Structure 1
């Protein structure tokens, strides 16, 4: 099978929650779930009474390299058996009715999963069958419910999408990277001194060209120029390019004279 070695480096990142698919119907969906799990650093997969048995070649074909997750998956007859060694169990439930349990968003659940795992406890997340979702007996095995706050007029997710949302939130909950950064490649964010040097150059040429000839408006125009460049992070490479533009425009104007 081509691409078999793609996911060779996939390994458990513990403590991570167990993903439990309850009565999954399509092997392709199980494979797609494994792929989503690999994206989010999840490894432990358990299958409860898969409709077509296990293993399934079709699952391998849709796993896109996440073969180790599928090969390590375990099969269980009941939900109770699948969660027997876990300390806390969460259940995804799009429309919980007549159930008294804590209800969390995916983000809230991810934070709890991280905190519980940090205490050395094992957690699992139940996902229901594609067509009908978890029934009340399945949910009875869970401590808490997870509901994704999506468009209330269209909350339909396939199984892999549902797992991907949870995998993403779990990964982000432990990610130390800043939520925003400037990709600068081989340059660097310009210092205030470098920026001031460019602004001095620009304003001097604006004066020379007569752009700032209105003495009453000049202070406000200079402030506007400064505000424009002080608004965000300008890189040193961008300033060098702008220096070049201003120099060439001034050279062209003087040559024309």
Structure 2
């Protein structure tokens, strides 16, 4: 049993879409792709190019009958925007992902089927599904690009984990004394340029500027860069020859 669903592209036509699907699956940690009866055969140069080196492409499995792709699957979801007149649960992508996770936790093997670009999934494929996934697209223009549909489900799968985006922490947040020096430098040049007018409003204007700057969570490098910019502007006026840097 795997801890992620398999994605199945049923009779896809364009290699570009297959490659884009591989790329976005790798982005969201979904490693297993099964391609069923691709129109232009396999492998495809356009799919390779569009996959941008995705390991999902390199490990993709190709079958020529849907039954072979589904032979070891316990629970199947069919993506479709068209009503099929079938008595099946209809879920949003988010609801379906929660259902998938529960099924996988119970030991089931899960797969999501996506139809080809021309007509989507055929009725015989939808018939095999336990549930239908329908996205809230505009009904007057409901045809969604194959790779985009894969991206929506892949995103919901990752989002359901509740894992925050991973960014490198910023370790050089400016100290208050650095900010204070920057404020004084900036305010000094503004005063020389005649910005604080009328003088009675200087405290309020200074307060507003400082509040805006503090919200920015400046780094030490940003403080140095900004002070360099202030210095350059002051010198460019032709009035300042000595600029405060304390």
Q: Structure 1 length normalisation: TM-score?
A: 0.69
Question: What residue is the counterpart of 1:59 in the other structure?
Answer: 44
Question: What residue is the counterpart of 1:4 in the other structure?
Answer: none
Question: What residue is the counterpart of 2:225 in the other structure?
Answer: 241
Mapping for residues 150-165 of structure 1, pairs under 5 Å: 150-165=137-152
User: Deviation digits for residues 15-46 of structure 1, max 9, x if unmatched?
Assistant: 12112233x05373674344544444333333
Contact 1:16 1:42 in 2 (8 A): yes
State the SS of the aligned residue for 1:217: helix
Question: What residue is the counterpart of 1:130 in the other structure?
Answer: 117
Contact 1:34 1:63 in 2 (8 A): no
User: Deviation digits for residues 24-78 of structure 1, max 9, x if unmatched?
Assistant: 0537367434454444433333345x2769xx34535523345774665152634
Contact 2:115 2:121 in 1 (8 A): yes
Once residues 84 and 178 of structure 2 are traced to their aligned partners in structure 1, the CA distance between those partners, rounded to angstroms, is 61
Contact 2:29 2:158 in 1 (8 A): yes
Once residues 24 and 241 of structure 2 are traced to their aligned partners in structure 1, the CA distance between those partners, rounded to angstroms, is 62
State the SS of the aligned residue for 1:126: strand
Question: What residue is the counterpart of 1:200 in the other structure?
Answer: 184
Contact 2:81 2:143 in 1 (8 A): no
Once residues 115 and 231 of structure 2 are traced to their aligned partners in structure 1, the CA distance between those partners, rounded to angstroms, is 66
Question: What residue is the counterpart of 1:15 in the other structure?
Answer: 3
Once residues 209 and 165 of structure 1 are traced to their aligned partners in structure 2, the CA distance between those partners, rounded to angstroms, is 53
Once residues 156 and 176 of structure 1 are traced to their aligned partners in structure 2, the CA distance between those partners, rounded to angstroms, is 30
Change (3 A) 1:165 1:217: same
Question: What residue is the counterpart of 1:113 in the other structure?
Answer: 100
Question: What residue is the counterpart of 2:136 in the other structure?
Answer: 149
Cα drift, residue 122 of structure 1? 1.7
State the SS of the aligned residue for 1:164: helix
Question: What residue is the counterpart of 1:96 in the other structure?
Answer: 83
Cα drift, residue 93 of structure 1? 1.0
Once residues 247 and 30 of structure 1 are traced to their aligned partners in structure 2, the CA distance between those partners, rounded to angstroms, is 52
User: Deviation digits for residues 91-114 of structure 1, max 9, x if unmatched?
Assistant: 101123434433333344334434
Once residues 47 and 88 of structure 1 are traced to their aligned partners in structure 2, the CA distance between those partners, rounded to angstroms, is 18
Q: Structure 2 length normalisation: TM-score?
A: 0.72
Question: What residue is the counterpart of 1:41 in the other structure?
Answer: 29
More off after superposition, 112-121 vs 83-92: 112-121
Question: What residue is the counterpart of 2:165 in the other structure?
Answer: 178
Once residues 58 and 27 of structure 1 are traced to their aligned partners in structure 2, the CA distance between those partners, rounded to angstroms, is 12
- 1:224 aligned onto 2:219: no
Change (3 A) 1:244 1:108: same
Cα drift, residue 252 of structure 1? 5.8
Contact 1:89 1:125 in 2 (8 A): yes
Cα drift, residue 231 of structure 1? 3.4
Once residues 163 and 186 of structure 2 are traced to their aligned partners in structure 1, the CA distance between those partners, rounded to angstroms, is 39
